Every structure is written in structure tokens, then in C-alpha cells.
Amino acid sequence: MPGEFMAAMGLRLTHISADRVEGTMELGPQHHQPWGIVHGGVYAAAVETAASAGAVAAVADQGLTAVGVNNNTNFLRSMSAGTVAVAATPLHRSRTFQLWEVRITDAERRLVALGQVRLQNVQPRGSARPRADG
């Protein structure tokens, strides 16, 4: 799953399952907004990435994937550098959508950002849709 965007963010997912996603993110000057603290978009991207990884794991055995349709991330504590933990857990799963909560905490386990991502379960692009007539 790692890609260039995750590498640029400094995000490393260490555990991905249908019930929990865990990882770490190294924050530094490359993440700063003009006033010297980590840009909220960095946290929002980490929230979406962790929730998406778990949601995809939850529906993969059904031949489905999951795509984010809403990301609500609250920024609770500013940081300029350091390592944060990222942990995602599902709040609700149904046939058509999922809701995941993602908590980002600092080295002292203080909440830095809290997000929820709603994801739609869909057929992967390029896959044939099952026909009703068999």
C-alpha cells in the first residue's frame, strides 16, 4: 500500500486489518504551514489514509473496495515536529457504507487530531458488475 504520497507525508502504517489500523507519522518542517506548525491538511490526509486502509480490508473478501465520501477532521493540539501515532477503528459498517474514527496522538498520548471518514463500498474500477440475471 505505501506510495509516494504516504512517503512524503511521513506516514507508515504498521498494522492493517478490518477492525483496526495503526501507524506512525514523522512530522517536521516539510509539513508546516506559513506560521511554523503542522498544516491541518496533513492530519486530514493521514485520517483519510488510515480509514481507507481499514475500510478496504473490511470489504476485500467480497471483491469490493471502499472510497471516501466525507472526511471530518478536528485539529486539537498544534505541533511543529515529532512522532504521532495514528489509530483507526470502525464505528459502523453496512452493506453499502462504513464509518471509521481515526485518532492521532502525540508521544505523551495527548489527542492531536480526531477524525471520522465515511466511505462507500463499491466495485473496483474495471471490474465487471454482477448481473441480476446470473
Domains observed in the chain = 4-122 (3.10.129.10)
36-66 pLDDT per residue, tens? 999 999 999 999 999 999 999 999 999 999 9
The pLDDT value recorded for residue 128 is 60
Entry pTM: 0.91
Whole-Å CA distances, 74 to 69, 71, 95, 96, 115:
17, 10, 27, 25, 6
